[in-house]
Structure 1
Amino acid sequence: MVTAAASALLVAAVAPGASAKPKPGGPAETKAKTTEVQILALNDFHGQLRPPDSTSSGGRIGTTPAGGAEYLAQYVRSLEETNPNSLFVSAGDVIGATPLVSAIFHDEPTIEAMNLMGLDYNGVGNHEFDEGPEELTRMQEGGCHPVEGCFGGDGFEGADFEFLAANVTYKDSGETIFPPFAIHEFPGVDVAVVGMTLEGTPNIVTAAATENLEFQDEADSVNALVPVLKKAGIETIVVLMHEGGSAGASLNETTVNSCANPTGAAVDVIKRFNPEIDLVVTGHTNWALNCPNLAGTGIMVTGAASVGRVVTDVDLTISRATKEVVSASINNVIVERTEFAPAADITELINHYGEIAAPIENRVIGTASAALSRTNNAYGESSLGDIIADAQLWATSGPGWSHGAPAVVSFMNSGGIRAAIDAGPITYGEAFSVQPFANVLVTMDMTGTQIDDLLEQQFSGGNGVLQIPASLTYDRSESAPTGSKVSNVRINGVLLDPATTYRVTVNNFLADGGDGYSVLRQGTNRFVGEIDSDAFSRYVEFLGTVDPGPQNRITSIP
């Protein structure tokens, strides 16, 4: 809901002169009956300055290697040349869960890269809150880090683009933490850009980061803005919403522009939107979507996958008389690495920070006695998955643990393991690349029944087999009916007791029901701990020499 204090801010925001940028154009444009506006959009960039690894699905669209800030910049610049009336926007998670070359500098390099690309607006996502609202405010306003100072000997000027968050308010004042929307002027028409943050953010970031904030319902919040905007004469409304769903098909060169069977939270929210809203740019679940009319709502909905692999090109024809969109087209453009040469200014930026990060990135923290693979065996276990699960259990039960009862079991989602480790020295940079999302470890109470339900969910809606530590073993049967595929579940050699409560550790993504593991939402008495990659790095240092995981914790039976 929009509070009274926020409403006052809205009135001020639509006052004359509030637009951030001047109207382009000349005498010929003043006689036109329509204005052609181009919206270029992305989401979930996650500081992927360097091209993502094309050997994994996260670095490709289908079989096409895609992404990398140097190439994204060239695509955006090329598309902007086709229309002077262009906006470049993001639906959240520009920063957070970033690779080391950005994360080690508290994501200042990513903000600077987006400044160079000319990003106009970012609807704040959940990962932007990873370091709390004060640090996020610093990302907007600039200034050196309060603890670590200025990186590279120079200052940090903050984002040239505007953060927007209509549904996030301070508990004490009711004021939105950033402007809820911006009015962008084009020749003859104005366009409202509204920022909408994932309502469930407090469930998937550390408690301290959101303890003084309220995250309100997305649909209620945007619907409350519509009459305010219309009263100000705004008829074209774009929402940057950090919420998504599933498109129901594997991502490839064809499905990147599909609207086949979209489901999930974003669909449910948008169905409740005021139909006066024209376009919703979504994010959070890394889906690619091109829906000219989502579920009969009359609202255009897009998604651009993640990490800069796609940029969405939305072309709107807007009537200067009615201020309404009269025609539109949408195209998700794959950011290939062969179409353009890398953008020299972005390359220079990456190299600058890469040189500073090198001593930490290249620091050796252990040795792999053999390659640590993330490829699953026939039963779903991977060598590296075993080690990560062991690390997460060790971090929440081993030396130095002082936060209540220790965990006795842990679970790791296979999809969160983003890189393998070669035999030989293990650098901090390599370890960081394995788990680059800055997820935090959540330790919670679950009953034996809930743990059994979780294991069964792997075969009835879960996305991939969960990686487990040495403390847990079970049998699985391919021939057994769904719901009865798991048996002989043992924790530390003792049969699972349905009525007993156990301490369980997972990352915050899983804790919120990620990858379809909804039963994890039932976990209680939660403690939010350290970042998962930090736990893994500490475990590698603790071991010194890391042997491949045995992949013997799941046994197949008839």
Structure 2
Amino acid sequence: MTSRTLLRLALAGAVAAGGLALAPPVTASPQSAAVPHSTIPVRLLTINDLHGNLETPSGSSGRITDENGVVVEGAGGVARLATKIKELRTRNTMLVAAGDLIGASPLVSAAYHDEPTLEILDRLGLRASSAGNHEFDEGYAELQRLMKGGCHPTDGCSPAGEWEGTSFDFLAANVLKEGSGRYALPPFYVKSVNGVKVGFIGLVTQTTPTIVTAEGIKGLRFTEEVEAANKVSRFLARRGVKAQVVLVHEGDQVTQGQSPDACPVVEGAGSRIAKNLDPQIDLVISGHSHQAYICRTTDPAGQPRYYTQGSSFGRVLTQIDLQVDRRTRDVVRSTVTADNHVIRPTITPDAEIAAAVATWKERSAAVANRPLGRITADISNAVNNTSPQLANPETPLGNLIADSQLAAAQPAGAQVALMNPGGIRAPLTYAQSGSEGDGVVTYGEAFTVQPFGNIVQVRTYTGAQLKALLEQQVWSVAANGTVTHRILQVSSSLTYTFDTTKPVGSRVSDIKINGTPVTDGQSVRIAANNFLMGGGDGFTVFTQGTDLWSGPIDLDAFGAYLTAHSPVAPPATGRITFVK
């Protein structure tokens, strides 16, 4: 059977110590007449990191390089994605995903807690997805509600009425409930295709606790991905499910501008997982890093194994074709092929899905179109990471957001504000996005920039702790010259020098607040969002502060600042002096 009910019953007693509980075999549902061949063709269509982008994303988020090296503008949009899915769908096709389908979403989806995106994914026929870290943004209870149904406990029902839940599950074989060790989410999904069973094992990056608010993952434990997947793989194999696919929300980086069908990747956590999974696992579909690649690695038994990812925001649909041997019930590895299709703006949108998106956009318009203030020019969050000489992680928009949080935290005596760059999801553009007029920033546009709904908080630290916090920032250069960094955006009150040529732990110097040097023993009130205050992005020093104060939602602070200082010019960079 393929229903989620049977799978949940099969795993109801699963615990970390005892492995997977025994359950009745997963049996095949009735199928049509068998085809007269020794193998069964199966096609997988996959997406990842949609982040609720129902419409074509704007700016760089809608840009991707195609197979011919041509930069495609305006890629994506679920109505065009739907058309491509229908074009490629055959008799034995399954649509699956690798996480972050929701969370950090545009307002058209987020205004109603991503129910619009989940409704449309159901219409597209999504069978299963691994959980991503962003699926936990609003907490485990909310993720359960989205899967099972019911109205939001605070905001109530959307204009569409009571939410019915999804017909697919988010899977996570490496997320356990604290205490009991039981699976927090179903670890796998099995589908029978013409008499052969294909199993999908879900995984989410084990780093989730460092990139999601503490409240979002409260009561959950995230374990190492390979060990968790291998345990489920062995269970499935014993139950006759030999064709196995891992959906993992973890991936690698690539050289910018390469073909979406190209390899290699800059090997990282994604490659580690793809190489070390049990040889029984035939294919790895990844996400999280927002890259497009088609790679082949080898499993621990030396067999070839495909490892793919399909970019983000609905810009790419991955097609994977394979044959399953009727006798062995396993994938014939030599038959596996994969192709990343760019969702081009020339694709005719599917009329039904386009109408559904338009309905949700109309429902959210009253909120989205409210003006907050004006800007005098584009305010960018873009960073050039192609070489150490060109990279400058301090951005005008990052500085502006830090300034807004400092202003909001003044009642608590804040002297400095710091902002995580990963929480800034889009630039502010001067050109109008609708009919509001050039330079006008609407609530919807501001929401696109900061969609997480984090709270501005303040704690007290010593000067030595401020330095230790800044030393936790990341700057590294790969062999190909690509720069990886995690540099906090700073308010205008803070200046310092960051010397990338020095060893980690001794890179920060000349820290000043409003021009006055900071001493190790002095007290400093620092403002940041609750994600950072909980130690997010690896900034554990944030958790060492005292005298916690909680203020407004970060988006409200940003909107109030834009209103009070309108028109706002792009802030100058240079608050951080980088030595490269």
Instruction: Please report the TM-score for the alignment, with normalisation by the length of structure 1.
Output: 0.84
Choose 90-99 or 193-202, whichever is displaced more.
Answer: 193-202
Shift of 1:165: 1.9
Q: Which of residues 256, 259, 266 is equivalent to 2:263?
A: 259
Q: Does the 8 Å CA contact 1:387/1:549 hold for their aligned counterparts?
A: yes
Q: 1:442 to 1:73 in 2, by over 3 A?
A: farther
Match of 1:166 among 164, 167, 173: 173
Q: Hey, what does 1:5 align to over in structure 2?
A: 14
Structure 2: which 5+ runs fail to align? 1-10, 385-389, 431-437
**Cα deviation code 1:14-42 (max 9, x no counterpart):** 6344x6xx465435x1x321011111111
Which of 291, 294, 311 is the equivalent residue of 1:287? 291
Q: Tell me the equivalent position of 2:186.
A: 179
Tell which deviates more after alignment, 463-472 or 308-317: 463-472
Q: What secondary structure is seen at the aligned counterpart in 2 of 1:257?
A: coil
Residue 456 of structure 1: how far off its partner (Å): 8.0
The 5-angstrom pairing of residues 449-468 of structure 1 reads 449-451=467-469, 453=471, 457=475, 461-463=483-485, 467-468=489-490
The residue number in structure 1 matching 2:544 is 525
**Cα distance 1:163–1:544, how it changes in 2: closer, same or farther (>3 A)?**
same
Task: Report the alpha carbon displacement of residue 104 of structure 1 after superposing the two structures with TM.
Answer: 0.5
Moved more, 491-500 or 199-208: 491-500
Per mean C-alpha deviation after superposition, the further-off stretch among 416-425 and 106-115 is 416-425
Matched, 1:74 2:92: no
Question: Following the alignment from structure 1 to structure 2, what is the Cα–Cα distance between the partners of residues 227 and 380?
Answer: 45
**SS of residue paired to 2:245:** strand
Bigger mean CA offset, 457-466 vs 193-202: 457-466
CA positional deviation for 1:358: 0.9
Question: Does the 8 A contact of 1:166 with 1:196 survive in 2?
Answer: yes
CA 1:13 to 1:364, structure 2 compared with 1: closer, same or farther past 3 Å? farther
Change (3 A) 1:109 1:207: same
Judged with a 3 Å threshold, the aligned counterparts in structure 2 of structure 1 residues 557 and 323 are, in CA distance, closer, same or farther, namely: closer
**Conservation of the 8 A alpha-carbon contact between 2:138 and 2:216:** yes
CA distance in 1, matches of 2:326, 2:278: 22
SS at match of 1:209: coil
Residues 53, 313 of structure 2: 8 Å contact kept: yes
Gaps of 5+ in 1: none
Q: Distance in 2 between matches of 1:417 and 1:435?
A: 6
For residue 102 of structure 1, the aligned residue among 98, 109, 115 is 109
- Find the residue that maps to 1:73 and give its secondary structure: helix
Q: CA deviation at 1:289?
A: 2.3
CA contact (8 A) 2:13 2:20 kept: no
Is residue 2:514 matched to residue 1:489? no
Structure 1 residues 239-268: Cα deviation after superposition (integer angstroms, max 9, x where no partner): 111112223x0144x2x1122143222222
In the alignment, which of 446, 461, 465 is matched to residue 447 of structure 1? 465
The separation in 1 between residues aligned to 2:473 and 2:130, in whole angstroms, is 36
**1:146 Cα deviation (Å)?**
2.1
Q: What is the rounded CA distance, in whole Å, between the counterparts of 2:304 and 2:94 in structure 1?
A: 22
Say which SS state the counterpart of residue 389 (structure 1) adopts.
helix
Distance 1:64 1:136, change over 3 A: same
Using the size of structure 2 for normalisation, the TM-score is 0.81
Cα offset, 1:153, TM superposition: 4.8
Relative distance call for 1:56 and 1:482 in structure 2 (3 A) is farther
Change in Cα spacing, 1:172 to 1:417, as seen in structure 2 (3 Å) is closer
Equivalence map 1:536-551=2 (5 Å): 536-543=558-565, 545-551=567-573
Match of 1:354 in 2: 361
Contact 1:372 1:384 in 2 (8 A): yes
Structure-1 separation of matches of 2:488 and 2:273: 29
State the alpha-carbon separation in 1 of the partners of residues 410 and 47 from structure 2: 41
SS at the partner of 1:223? helix
Deviation at 1:449, TM superposition (A): 4.0
Decide whether aligned partners of structure 1 residues 411 and 5 sit closer, same or farther in structure 2, where only a CA change above 3 A counts.
closer
Look up the equivalent residue of 1:74 and give its one-letter code: T
- The 8 Å contact of residues 385 and 417 in structure 1, kept in 2 or not, is answered as no
Partner Cα separation in structure 2 for residue 528 and residue 24 of structure 1: 61
**Conserved 8 A contact 2:15-2:183:** yes
C-alpha distance in 2, partners of 1:442/1:37?
Answer: 51
Write the distance in 1 (CA, Å) between the matches of 2:53 and 2:521.
45
CA distance in 2, matches of 1:319, 1:162: 27
* Alpha-carbon separation, structure 2, partners of 1:244 and 1:362: 36
Matched, 1:388 2:398: no
Matched positions, count: 535
CA RMSD of aligned residues (A): 3.5
Out of 333, 341, 344, the position equivalent to 2:341 is 333
Give CA-to-partner distance per residue, 1:526-545, whole Å, 9 cap, x none.
Answer: 78977644442243245454
- SS of equivalent residue, structure 2 residue 215: helix
Question: What letter matches 2:401 in structure 1?
Answer: I
List per-residue Cα deviations over 1:120-157 (Å, max 9, x = no partner).
10111111111112211111112222222221152322
How far the C-alpha of 1:489 sits from its partner, in A, is: 3.4
For residues 293 and 531 of structure 1, do their structure 2 counterparts lie closer, same or farther at Cα, with a shift above 3 Å needed? farther
Q: Does structure 1 conserve the Cα–Cα contact (< 8 Å) formed by 2:51 and 2:100?
A: yes
Return the letter of the residue paired with 2:25: A
Residue 276 of structure 1 pairs with residue 277 of structure 2:
no
1:418 to 426, 429, 435: 426
Equivalent residue, structure 2, for 1:138:
145
In 1: Cα distance, 2:115 partner to 2:231 partner:
34
Secondary structure in structure 2 of the residue aligned to 1:39: strand
Q: 1:335 to 1:511 in 2, by over 3 A?
A: farther
Take 2:555 and 2:140, find their aligned partners in 1: how far apart are those partners?
A: 22
Does the 8 A contact of 2:13 with 2:21 survive in 1? no
Q: Give the residue type in structure 2 aligned to 1:193.
A: F
Deviations 1:163-205 (A, max 9, x none): 2222222224433222211211011311111111222222222
Q: Which whole-Å CA distance do the structure 1 matches of 2:358 and 2:212 have between them?
A: 30
Change (3 A) 1:199 1:277: same
Identity, % of aligned positions:
35
What residue identity is the alignment partner of 2:515? G
Rounded to whole Å, the distance in 2 between the matches of 1:398 and 1:225 is 51
The answer (yes or no) to whether the contact 2:99–2:135 under 8 Å persists in 1 is yes
Amino acid at match of 1:134: A
Q: Per the alignment, in what secondary structure is the counterpart of residue 293 of structure 1? A: strand
- For 2:309, which of 295, 299, 303 is the aligned residue? 303
Q: Does 1:315 align with 2:321?
A: yes
C-alpha distance in structure 2 between counterparts of 1:291 and 1:456, whole Å: 28
Deviations 1:434-457 (A, max 9, x none): 234667768776735435535783
Pick from 42, 45, 51: which aligns with 1:46?
Answer: 51
2:213 counterpart of 1:206: yes
Q: Secondary structure at the match of 1:450?
A: helix
* Contact kept? 2:467, 2:508, Cα under 8 Å: no
Q: Deviations over 1:459-510 (max 9, x none)?
A: 89444875321012245789x7788987543223222446777546368489
